[in-house]
Structures are given as structure tokens and as C-alpha cells.
């Protein structure tokens, strides 16, 4: 076994590898760019070596610097994590030339699966299900209909030189094929100067399901069940789970055996993933193979009890797999969500800055429920504009899918982050979504369920009453503490009113509240003025704590608490709302207060996220039309083009290229 390994990566995956290596008694070496000098993975490792400036192309992607760091520290092997150099065939070859072991598959397997066309040929040769289609040139509409009849409807007619949706038609019948063939050819000719089209099976309402495989250097390969990754936004996975709610044991075995056949065909000898597109009828077709550890590997670890990083290290050291296929069992259900530094209320634009507060839920196993948090940040750390915006991966495991989802929703409520915007409200909303909870998934889920993006949700029904009860309880505890302030003047003892008006944003809920022996009792006032059934709240919450933990009628909940003027902002189940708790007298006065008018920012271009100004594409006095580019802002490897929403004349420019701007910073004004 290796004595020292180097992790050629950063963030949560570097920390993840370090944890397993430490448990195995292996010393670790971290590498870091100047931007990551104070990063968590640097602090966790036994040694750390600087490898260059912040841009990845000048640090984490420079093979020579990784190899030199190995020489300096005596690292015998390198774990690449995922991303960066993990799937570059040249990297394991360069390491081998330097006498260093690559903790991953052999370069031949990486090359074979790295080319999408060649990988599909290899899959077909290994008798893996591939999308039925005709990749040859089709002469006329009659031949097109014949091919479509053989494939089975619906079919996709695609331009051979296509892209951007041009020269593409979906056909559900022979007549639609004949018409679509002509239209696709015409579009392809005008768009690309090439009228060749091909036909393949169109998978309706597809799901994304992948099989985890594990091989050693002695020809042994097994599969470790599947993961469902259908909840995606812009082709990026958001939530993953294991197992899949779609598959039965027979389909799982068939997919697993095909994945193993493909892995054996390319002599695969590490952890890897074979991805499939699946129909709702459990049909499945090869998509691609990822020759590395996947971001979502923890859900597989929790349902199988197998540490994939440990297996990768052991296999790289030449050990045989000690796990046979018959040893692999799937126990319970695991759900993972990716916590990103992005603003879901601003179309998920990246958010950078300092983590003023970072309080993830405690990692523990209790009553059969496990909460795990794979992270690479700490409180006070900085989310950099140079790298992926992931803050953490939250994973829960429970005996059933419903229990795992409930545990996940509770853990998200408990996940407190301040200083930057994050997608926890969106993830929480997904956990409560009926279609998700029912397992009716597809890769179009988010686009279909949130067609206009994610917006602030007003609390309704039981959640509104729950938030109102907690808000009243928090106010009651604050009031009790005020009564205990020393040095108060003697006089008539204060008797607190029981009736409260709780304002959740613009809605008002009336209730009565009182302390009893075990906690706080709340009764809501019904529309006819009568009192509803009593709700009982028990909590040890103290003023200043960021999360209210407690029970409402015996059910554990967590509510995030942020102080604001005259009240507090509460966050629960994806809902963030300002809460004000008034006595009846205070509420009567508050109702008379005029509402603040929102300032008109229509004549200003504000920076939608913290970022770097790449260009300002207009000049003062210039007339612009709606849709014209005004400026380009870069954050987290993404360039965002800011366009004019209406016609106008540029009055003044306040930002220059190269400037670093905060969110809502003024870029330019219109006349």
C-alpha cells in the first residue's frame, strides 16, 4: 500500500479523498493555487504545495507542476478527483513516465471512452443497448419512412452537420417523417450548407440513470447498482438518488451486466460510471462512460456500504477486488443535493464572496437516518470566481425513499449559509414538490415544473401556520428575556397579552400564545373569531442562535432565523419571509403605515452578480436598441452578456473593463 498520495484537485473532492486516505493510514499531499492558499483541503492534508496563480489553466491543469509536487514530497500516487485532469489520457501517461501511480483507470480505457463516437461503437460491439438509428445518408423521404418504420416511433430526424436545434424534427408517424425529412433537409442546407440528415429513436420523457462499476487490474469487474440523476438544470445534475424509483431488479441486473460488459471490453480497472438514457417503460440506451469518480458517488456508498475512494486506492496499488457481485446489496435509500453559490431568484447567477456564516447540519446517524455533508469550505472562507461554485454536497440515507427525502428536507432547513446567495431555497422547494416525491421524474422536470424560473414563494396553508407559530414563539422568548433585564424601575408588573398578529410578509395570521410547563402553546384565531385547535411547540432556542430547532406537535422541524428591523426573516422548506409579531394595538398602528415605494431602476444597468467586467460595449451618448450587448461580466468561469431591455441612449458609464463589481453595483445609466 502507498505511504503517501497527492490529490490533484481542490474543494470538497480533495477533502473527501483525504478523509479516506487518513482512515487507511496514508499520508496526503494537497496542491493549491494562490486563490486556495487558505482553503480547507490545504489545512486538512499532511503537506501542501503551491502550484501557481488562481486560473486553473495556470495551476491545477498544469501536469508538470503536479509531477514536480510529487517529486518534492515523495508522493507515490496521485488521485485526480473529478474535473481538471481526471479524464485526460495524457495525465496517467505522464505520471507513469515519472514513476508515479495514477489512482484511476488505465490511459487506454480513458481514450476508448473519451471519444463519444468511438465509445458508442465499442458499446454496440459489447452488445450494450444503444439508441436505435440509421447513421448513414438517407436518399429520399421514402427511404426515411422505411427506416423510421423499422426503428419505431417516435423518431428524431437530425441534420448531420446540425446544431442549435436547426435541421431537427420529431416525427410520430410515417406522414410526419416524410414532411419532417423535407423540412429538415431544407433547414440543414440553408443553415449549414449540408443537407445530409440521419434518423434515430426519440426517447419520450427520458430519464438519466447511471451504473457504478468497479474493476481491478486482474480482470475483475462488478457493478454497484444505479443512481438516478434525472433532476437536472441546463444539463447539470441538481439532485441524485440511489437506487432509482424506476427500476426493478430485472432491469437493474440487465443494465449492470451491460455496464460490466462494456467495462471489460475496454479493460477498465478502477471506479467508473456507465450512463444511460432510459424511457419511462424501463427501456434504456447507452449514453457515455465517465472514466473517473462521479460527483454523486456518495449515494452509492451509502446504499452499498462500500467506500469507492478506498477501492480506487487499493486497486491502483495492485490489490484484487475482495467484493464479488453476489456480495453487493442495496440497503435503504440515499438522496444527494448539490449546494451551489448561485442565486436561484436571479436565474441562478453565480454568487461569490465570503461565507460570513457557514453552519451545515451535523453529520450523524440517528434512528436509522444518516446525514452526510461533503464540503470543501469553512466559515470565513471565500467562494472564488475562478472555480466551480459548489459549496457542499448534502446526502441523507434512510430505510425508505420517503424517509430519505423527509430527512433531506429537514437537513436543508438546518443548513445555514450567510454572506453569499445560495440555492438552498430551490433545493428545499424541490424536496417538497409532489412530482419529485412521487418519483415521476424526467430530465425535463425542472424546465417543466419551473418554466418561468424559480421565484419567491409566499407561505400558504400548513407551512404558513407553522412559520407563524415559530415566529410567535421566538418573539415570546425575546419578550421573556427583556422582562429579565436588571435595573428596571419598580412598578406595576407587566402582564403580556396572549393575542398576537403575526405578519408573514403582507399576509396576517392571528393567534393566541402562552407559556406552559413543557413549552409554548399556540391557538390560531379562526375567521369567525373562535379559537382553533392548540399546537404545542417545544424548543431550547436562545436569542442569537441562527436556527430554531424544536418540535411542533411532536414533529421535529428546523427554521432559520435572521434578525431584521423590528422583526426577523424566517426560512423554512424553501420559503424565506420577513416576520413581524405585533400585539393587537401595535398591529392596528402598523396597518396605517404607508408602504415604501420601490425605487425605479429601469434607467440603470446594475451588475446582477459579483464579477469581473470583461467589456463595456457601448459609449456615452450612444443610442442602443433592445437586445444589444451593453456589457459582459465574468464569474466562476462563466461569461454573462448583459443586454438592453429597451431602446435608449447611454447617459453615463460607471464601470470600466477589469473592474471587480459587487452585486447590484451600477454599470451605466440611460438618459
The residues that are catalytic are 288
Strand partners, 163: 166
Strand partners, 213: 223, 272
**Residue 538: exposure state from Cβ atoms within 10 A (0-12, 13-18, ≥19):** middle
Strand partners, 32: 50
Q: How many CA atoms lie within 13 A of 21 on its CB side?
A: 27
**Residue 494: exposure state from Cβ atoms within 10 A (0-12, 13-18, ≥19):** exposed
Strand partners, 7: 30, 79
Distance CA(338)–CA(422), nearest Å, equals: 10
- Please give the grid coordinates belonging to residue 169: 424534427
Helical spans, DSSP H, in 439-504: 445-449, 461-483
Report CA 295 to chain centroid distance, whole Å. Answer: 10
Nearest to 93 by CA among 102, 84, 83: 102
Distance CA(92)–CA(575), nearest Å, equals: 47
Q: Indicate the DSSP class of residue 420.
A: S
Distance CA(545)–CA(547), nearest Å, equals: 6
Q: What is the DSSP string of 20-35?
A: HHHHTT-EEEEEE-GG
**Residue 450: exposure state from Cβ atoms within 10 A (0-12, 13-18, ≥19):** middle
CA dist 54 → 16, 51, 254, 467, 561 (Å): 22, 9, 45, 43, 35
Nearest to 17 by CA among 146, 120, 103: 103
Amino acid at each position: 500500500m502507498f505511504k503517501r498520495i497527492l490529490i490533484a484537485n481542490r474543494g470538497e473532492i480533495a477533502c473527501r479523498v483525504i478523509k479516506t486516505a487518513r482512515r487507511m493510514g496514508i499520508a496526503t499531499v494537497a496542491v493549491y493555487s494562490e486563490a486556495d492558499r487558505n482553503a480547507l483541503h490545504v489545512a486538512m492534508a499532511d503537506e501542501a504545495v503551491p502550484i501557481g496563480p488562481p486560473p486553473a489553466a495556470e495551476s491545477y491543469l498544469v501536469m508538470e507542476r503536479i509531477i514536480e509536487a510529487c517529486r518534492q514530497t515523495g508522493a507515490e500516487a496521485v488521485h485526480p478527483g473529478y474535473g481538471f485532469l481526471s479524464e485526460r489520457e495524457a495525465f496517467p501517461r505522464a505520471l507513469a513516465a515519472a514513476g508515479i501511480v495514477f489512482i484511476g483507470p488505465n490511459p487506454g480505457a480513458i481514450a476508448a471512452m473519451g471519444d463519444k463516437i468511438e465509445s458508442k461503437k465499442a458499446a454496440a460491439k459489447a452488445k450494450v443497448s444503444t439508441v436505435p438509428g440509421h447513421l448513414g445518408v438517407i436518399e429520399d423521404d421514402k427511404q426515411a419512412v422505411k427506416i423510421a418504420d423499422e426503428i419505431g416511433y417516435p423518431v428524431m430526424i437530425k441534420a448531420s452537420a446540425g446544431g442549435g436545434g436547426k435541421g431537427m424534427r420529431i416525427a410520430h408517424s410515417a406522414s410526419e417523417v416524410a414532411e419532417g425529412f423535407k423540412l429538415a433537409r431544407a433547414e440543414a442546407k440553408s443553415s449549414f450548407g449540408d443537407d445530409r440528415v440521419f434518423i434515430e429513436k426519440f426517447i419520450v420523457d427520458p430519464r438519466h440513470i447511471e451504473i457504478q462499476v468497479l474493476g481491478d487490474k486482474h480482470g475483475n469487474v462488478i457493478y454497484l447498482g444505479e443512481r438516478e440523476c434525472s433532476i437536472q438544470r441546463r444539463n447539470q445534475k441538481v439532485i441524485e438518488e440511489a437506487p432509482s424509483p424506476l427500476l426493478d431488479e430485472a432491469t437493474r441486473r440487465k443494465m449492470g451486466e451491460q455496464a460490466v460488459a462494456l467495462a471489460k471490453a475496454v479493460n477498465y480497472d478502477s471506479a467508473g460510471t456507465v450512463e444511460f438514457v432510459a424511457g419511462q417503460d424501463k427501456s434504456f440506451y447507452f449514453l457515455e462512460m465517465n472514466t473517473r469518480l462521479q460527483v454523486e458517488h456518495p449515494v452509492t456508498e451509502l446504499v452499498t456500504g462500500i467506500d469507492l475512494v478506498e477501492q480506487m486506492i487499493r486497486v491502483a496499488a495492485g490489490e484484487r477486488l475482495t467484493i464479488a457481485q453476489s456480495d453487493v446489496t442495496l440497503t435503504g435509500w440515499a438522496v444527494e443535493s448539490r449546494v451551489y453559490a448561485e442565486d436561484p431568484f436571479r436565474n441562478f447567477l453565480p454568487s461569490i464572496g465570503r461565507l460570513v456564516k457557514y453552519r451545515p447540519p451535523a453529520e450523524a446517524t440517528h434512528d436509522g437516518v444518516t446525514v452526510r455533508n461533503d464540503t470543501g469550505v469553512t466559515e470565513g472562507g471565500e467562494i472564488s470566481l475562478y472555480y466551480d461554485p459548489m459549496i457542499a454536497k448534502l446526502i441523507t440515507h434512510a430505510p425508505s425513499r420517503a424517509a430519505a427525502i423527509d430527512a433531506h428536507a429537514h437537513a436543508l432547513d438546518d443548513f445555514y449559509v450567510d454572506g453569499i446567495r445560495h440555492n438552498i431555497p430551490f433545493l428545499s422547494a424541490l424536496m417538497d414538490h409532489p412530482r419529485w416525491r412521487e418519483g415521476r421524474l424526467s430530465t425535463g422536470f425542472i424546465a417543466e415544473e419551473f418554466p418561468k424560473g424559480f421565484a419567491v414563494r409566499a407561505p400558504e396553508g400548513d407551512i404558513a401556520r407553522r412559520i407563524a407559530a415559530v415566529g410567535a414563539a421566538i418573539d415570546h422568548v425575546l419578550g421573556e428575556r427583556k422582562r429579565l433585564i436588571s435595573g428596571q424601575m419598580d412598578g406595576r408588573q407587566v402582564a403580556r397579552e396572549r393575542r398576537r398578529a403575526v405578519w408573514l410578509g403582507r399576509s396576517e395570521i392571528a393567534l393566541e400564545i402562552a407559556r406552559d410547563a413543557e413549552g409554548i402553546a399556540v391557538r390560531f384565531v379562526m375567521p369567525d373569531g373562535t379559537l382553533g385547535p392548540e399546537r404545542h411547540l417545544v424548543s431550547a432556542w436562545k436569542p442569537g442562535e441562527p436556527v430554531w430547532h424544536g418540535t411542533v406537535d411532536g414533529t421535529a422541524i428546523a427554521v432559520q432565523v435572521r434578525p431584521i428591523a423590528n422583526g426577523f426573516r424566517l426560512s423554512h422548506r424553501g420559503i424565506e419571509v420577513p416576520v413581524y409579531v405585533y400585539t393587537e394595538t401595535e398591529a392596528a398602528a402598523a396597518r396605517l403605515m404607508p408602504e415604501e415605494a420601490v425605487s425605479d431602476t429601469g434607467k440603470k444597468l446594475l451588475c446582477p452578480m459579483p464579477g469581473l467586467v470583461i467589456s463595456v460595449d457601448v459609449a456615452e451618448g450612444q443610442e442602443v436598441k433592445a437586445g444589444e450587448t451593453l456589457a459582459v461580466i465574468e464569474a466562476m468561469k462563466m461569461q454573462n452578456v448583459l443586454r438592453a431591455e429597451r431602446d435608449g441612449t447611454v447617459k453615463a458609464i460607471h464601470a470600466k473593463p477589469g473592474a471587480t463589481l459587487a452585486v447590484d453595483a451600477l454599470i451605466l445609466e440611460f438618459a
